[in-house]
Amino acid sequence: MNAKFADRLATAIFYVIAFIIVLILASLLGYVLYNGVPKLSWQFISSPPQIFKTGGGVGPQLFNSFYLLVLTMIISIPISLGAGIYMAEYAKKNAWTDFLRTMIEVLSSLPSIVVGLFGFLFFVIYMGWGFSILSGALALAVFNLPLMVRVVEESVRNIPQQQREAGLALGVSRWETITTIVLPAALPGIITGVILASGRVFGEAAALIYTAGMSTPNLDFSNWNPFSPTSPLNPMRPAETLAVHIWKINGEGIMPDAAAVSDGAAALLVIAILIFNLGARWIGGLVHRKMTSA
């Protein structure tokens, strides 16, 4: 076979594969948005759900999803940054670090339902926290840490060694070199990892069924005391997220408009993830430009 023809054939095959992937993704998004967007309204987004009658919304579930996402990222980002920097900059290549990387790979391949069962046994039962936002956030942190640690490690490791040597040659300490030279250069890759992990958190359901629970108490959004049982900021209360709510409605919803609520919630979940990802990328690019120009 002619080499030029083989190259063109391979290029055409790759374009066809890429087109098929984009077509499948666009079809899924189009189907969800086509069925769900007409159901969206401010009343639907802000009002609490109904169990027996029509007209319910997903306001508490939407708030729970964002609150759980924030808590999970607060827990995950510092740990993953520290572990990734250690693995890339300080850890020597030996049997111990090889074992750590193997364990990280094993953890990253665990199904979310297994992480949920672990969270149920440890955080919910053993720690005595019950079905709560804190239990769900810690379980999702366990779920996302392997991905984020590997992303941080690879992003830091891919920075050219010459940049580190230039900083050290100027008399800058190793830690200052990492924080002022290496991390700003690795920030785009780290932000990509954070976005991927955030998307997994926002759309996760299996792990949260066993940790955060499938119910939400009546919340008083005028009460922001985190120690109050009715406060939306109370981390010890159960919290049904948007993804869990969709699963619950399709599995056991008895309200007359269950299908409409499920379609609207699914569309809202997709739109929220898209807005979050685009916003995170914009903020990440802005921070990167400021850090590199400083």
pLDDT of residue 287: 67
pLDDT of residue 294: 57
The answer to whether position 12 is within a domain reads no
The answer to whether position 283 is within a domain reads yes
The answer to whether position 16 is within a domain reads no
Q: How many domains does the chain have?
A: 1
pLDDT of residue 126: 93
CA distances from 123 to 78, 127, 132, 140 (A): 20, 5, 9, 12
pLDDT of residue 102: 85
Task: Give the single-character DSSP code of 224.
Answer: -
pLDDT of residue 284: 67
Q: Quote the domain boundaries for residue 98.
A: 40-293
Task: Give the single-character DSSP code of 110.
Answer: S
pLDDT of residue 119: 93
Chunked in runs of 10, what are the mean pLDDT values of the chain (294 residues)?
79 93 92 90 88 84 91 92 88 83 83 90 93 93 89 87 79 81 82 81 87 86 84 90 89 83 90 80 70 61
pLDDT of residue 174: 80
Sequence-distant contacts of 244-250: CB under 8 A, at least 24 apart: 244/61, 244/205, 244/208, 244/209, 244/212, 244/214, 245/49, 245/58, 245/61, 246/205, 247/205, 247/209, 248/214
The answer to whether position 34 is within a domain reads no
Indicate which CATH number applies to the domain containing 75.
1.10.3720.10
Report pLDDT digits (tens) over 82-107.
988 888 888 888 888 888 888 888 88
pTM listed for this prediction: 0.85
The answer to whether position 137 is within a domain reads yes
The answer to whether position 261 is within a domain reads yes
pLDDT of residue 1: 60
The answer to whether position 28 is within a domain reads no
pLDDT of residue 26: 92
The answer to whether position 269 is within a domain reads yes
pLDDT of residue 217: 85
